[in-house]
Amino acid sequence: MSQPVLLVALAGVALILTIVAPFGTGEIMRALPRLAYWAFVVIASYSIGFAANASVTGGLARRIALAGALTSLGVVPLVFLLNGLALGHWPVGAGDVAGALVLAGNISVICLVLAGIFQVAYSEAETPPETPPDLLDRLPIAKRGPLVSLSVEDHYVRIRTLKGEEMVLMRLADAVRETRGVPGLQVHRSHWVALGQVRGAARRGDGAVLTMSTGPEIPVSRANVAAIREAGLLPR
């Protein structure tokens, strides 16, 4: 609640509900009481929903179902109590009970939908940003991009990215170690490839050859054919 953007958003939702006046609130309340009613419902419901969404664990579908159910268990009694205290409307008769069940069902569906939105949004927000591999720090800034391949040339390693290539004086083993976080395979004693940049694979003699998103084809030694097959680059 300390975030100004959130407060403005909640105020906007309350104002929209006041204007639209769903659930017959426009027929039984004037504008200002209706605004106070919806402001209370929005803030209280958000608080309940926030607590519910923050307390659930498991897979996405499980979190949505649990968060929706927990939010409903809090919001439905709140709305009934508010309607009774503020409007004097208590579900006592048979017709009132039927209407109350319909209202509870509508609220539960809304809570479930909002729980799904919140859970997906939180999952996106909590995804940690991808950390570039340390190897890119050895390249000029203009050439730092997604890794494509590494190739040994004399005592140097040619580092290829989608933004260019650079020769760096180092061992291939050290270069591969610095690709940490990038899924890849050393397919030859002189070559490493990023799996996400492989565009094609074909057998050639006892070995194979890989077509990359940029740069020349990369040979695969006979000893590493099984590895690229396990990675799904060649049919079994």
Q: What are phi and psi of 34, to 5 degrees?
A: -65, -40
Element (H, E) at 227: helix 225-230
Question: Does 151 share its domain with 100?
Answer: no
The answer, yes or no, to whether residue 210 has pLDDT greater than 70, is yes
What CATH number has the domain bearing residue 164? 2.40.50.1020
**Is the domain of 53 the same as that of 86?**
yes
End-to-end CA distance of the chain: 56
Phi, psi for 183 (deg, rounded to 5): -60, 125
Mean pLDDT value across residues 97-124: 88
Calculate mean pLDDT across residues 61-89.
Answer: 91
∠ CA 30-35-37, rounded to 5°? 95
In a domain, 235, yes or no: no
The stretch 221-234 carries a mean pLDDT of: 92
Q: Could you report the per-residue pLDDT of 11-53, keeping only the tens digit for each? A: 999 999 999 998 888 888 999 999 999 999 999 999 999 999 8
3-state secondary structure 157-188: EEEEECCEEEEEECCHHHHHHCCCCCCEEEEE
CB count, 10 Å around CB of 48?
Answer: 18
**End residue of a domain, out of 95, 126, 157:** 126
> Average model confidence (pLDDT) for the chain?
90
Domain final residue, candidates 91, 126, 161: 126
Share of the chain above pLDDT 70, in %: 95
Kindly report, residue by residue over 132-185, the tens digit of the pLDDT.
Answer: 899 999 999 999 999 999 999 999 999 999 999 999 999 999 999 999 989 999
- Count the domains in the chain: 2
Q: How many residues does the chain have?
A: 236
- Residue 63 domain boundaries: 4-126
pLDDT of residue 94: 64
State which of 126, 150, 184 marks the end of a domain: 126
Same-domain pairing of 39 and 79: yes
Residues 116 and 154 in one domain: no
> Is the separation of the CB atoms in 34 and 25 below 8 Å?
yes
Asked if pLDDT for residue 127 goes beyond 70, the answer is no
Does 80 map to a domain? yes
Facing residues of 204 across strands?
A: 207
26 with 80, same domain: the answer is yes
Torsion sign across C-alpha atoms 211, 215, 220, 226:
negative
pLDDT attached to residue 234: 87
pLDDT at 223: 95
Q: How much is the pLDDT for 79?
A: 92
28 belongs to a structural domain? yes
Q: What is the largest CA-CA distance in the chain?
A: 90
CA distances from 185 to 45, 69, 176, 189, 199 (A): 51, 46, 9, 11, 14
